[in-house]
Structure 1
Amino acid sequence: MPIYSDSDDQAPGPSNMSRMFGRNRSLHSILGGRGVADILLWRNKTLSASILAGFSIIWFLFEVVELHFITVACYILMAFMLVLFIWIQGERFFRWRPPTMYDIQISETTARHVLSRINKFLIKFYRISCGEDFARFFVALAAIWLLSIFGSYSSALNVLYVVFLGLITIPVLYERYEREVTYIATQGKGDMKRLYRKIDSKVLSKIPRGPVKERKYK
């Protein structure tokens, strides 16, 4: 029987708190250390706010105003065509530099980066599904199951919008209040240990067990 002491459950103060999960790298490097990490951690506040506003407008149009996807897509295309037409025709009078066809194309580096991220996700999904780490397998399975329950009571757009809000707010809040979050998580871990010991001493240890028979080897 392991011997526990109250000192094992005492959480260190926020001043001498180590990082969660024993990580050594910064949160920015874990998120990729590039443009995506800058957006999620609000290093580029203008771009992050613009993306948040854009997704919020899309969610508002589909869920609150209840417009159809094809209708909204046609409106966006018409607005884009009108802007390009006015911009190009106004070059003669206002000397505006109109965008070329290469300015609105998605670069190959961006496409390769997105595809590489998708491939990494598929590889990680395959490894988890193979059962290399049973704890991670059951956690992923439980998370997908909970997401399916949440999705049955809400539309797909609401689920995506909630996930997006989590991605755009949780990393930056965690980076700003990392010590406080780690301190609370450590205290919660100690509370769970004490609760388990109480259940073990009052319930689990009193369950009768049959005699353990020794194996006979010939």
Structure 2
Amino acid sequence: MASGSYEASRQARLFGRQRPFHAILGGGKVADILMWRNKKLSASILVGLSTIWFLLEVVEFHFITLLCYFLIFNLLFFFLWYNTARFITWSPPCIYEVGISESTWRYLFKRFNWFMKTLCEISTGKDLKLLFMTITGLWILSAIGTCFTALNLLYIISLCMMTLPVMYEQYECEVTYLASKGNRDLNRLFRKLDSKFLSKIPRLSLQ
């Protein structure tokens, strides 16, 4: 029976999705980074995040101190590059191209707005199961937050974002099988809670 469920999971996709996971993440540069399509850029970002975490958490640099050192290093680096490029046949840096693209900011604001709208939709209580799961997840996250500093928690989340999507893509069948099995157990638990408690909660009819 278990082998049959596993074979079925090879044909199905997690949460019944139809699009590739890369497309669900946006299909742009952010998705390329998270899915390691550009290995050099993804590795550089991961190394940079790990270095910042190490300097702030292990070496115990203050954030302002580290930021000032970073800016000093960049000033000296671009100064040397700009003034020595003429002697070593390098093209000088184009300072007007330095910055974050507007498309990246639009993507981030779009995701933030989607997150806020989703929370408001969940809070209406139209789907009690989803509301219960969201509250439970936030409660678990708050409990985890008491065990870590904000910096450690942000680093762990960033580390998960840089590793879990690409690992899921490689082991999609196994993850789908385990997720479907866990979802069945969760549905069984929710039906018990619904029959004993949630179904007895009076609801207001909105006209």
Q: Calculate the TM-score normalised by the size of structure 2.
A: 0.80
Q: 2:89 maps to what in 1?
A: 95
**Aligned 1:122-201 pairs, distance under 5 A:** 122-188=116-182, 192=185
Give yes or no for contact 1:59–1:161 (8 Å, CA) kept in 2. yes
Q: 1:56 maps to what in 2?
A: 50
Give yes or no for contact 1:11–1:183 (8 Å, CA) kept in 2. no
Deviations 1:56-104 (A, max 9, x none): 0011011111110000000000000000110111123223222233111
Is 1:116–2:90 an aligned residue pair?
Answer: no
Q: 1:12 maps to what in 2?
A: 5
Three-state SS of the structure 2 residue aligned to 1:92 is coil
Amino acid at match of 1:138: F
Q: Which moved more, 1:105-114 or 1:140-149?
A: 105-114
Amino acid at match of 1:13: Y
Higher helix share: 2
User: Distance between the aligned counterparts of 1:183 and 1:112, measured in 2?
Assistant: 35
Is 1:34–2:10 an aligned residue pair?
Answer: no
Deviations 1:95-151 (A, max 9, x none): 322223311133333322322222222222222233332222222222222111111
User: Distance between the aligned counterparts of 1:114 and 1:20, measured in 2?
Assistant: 24
Per-residue deviation, 1:188: 4.7
Q: 2:60 maps to what in 1?
A: 66
**Change in CA separation of 1:189 and 1:80 when aligned onto 2, cut-off 3 Å:** closer
* RMSD value, Cα: 2.5
Give yes or no for contact 1:20–1:182 (8 Å, CA) kept in 2. yes
Q: 1:214 maps to what in 2?
A: none
Runs of 4+ residues over 6 Å off in structure 1: none
User: Distance between the aligned counterparts of 1:14 and 1:169, measured in 2?
Assistant: 26
User: Distance between the aligned counterparts of 2:160 and 2:39, measured in 1?
Assistant: 17
Question: Can you give the 5+ residue segments of structure 2 that lack an aligned partner in the other structure?
Answer: 193-207
Question: Can you give the 5+ residue segments of structure 1 that lack an aligned partner in the other structure?
Answer: 1-6, 201-218
Per-residue deviation, 1:11: 4.3
User: Distance between the aligned counterparts of 2:82 and 2:3, measured in 1?
Assistant: 68
User: Distance between the aligned counterparts of 2:60 and 2:127, measured in 1?
Assistant: 43
Give yes or no for contact 1:11–1:187 (8 Å, CA) kept in 2. no
Q: 1:77 maps to what in 2?
A: 71
The correspondence for 1:23, drawn from 17, 34, 37, is 17
The correspondence for 2:101, drawn from 102, 107, 114, is 107
User: Distance between the aligned counterparts of 2:110 and 2:143, measured in 1?
Assistant: 30
User: Distance between the aligned counterparts of 2:69 and 2:102, measured in 1?
Assistant: 28
User: Distance between the aligned counterparts of 1:148 and 1:165, measured in 2?
Assistant: 19
User: Distance between the aligned counterparts of 2:61 and 2:157, measured in 1?
Assistant: 21
Per-residue deviation, 1:10: 7.5
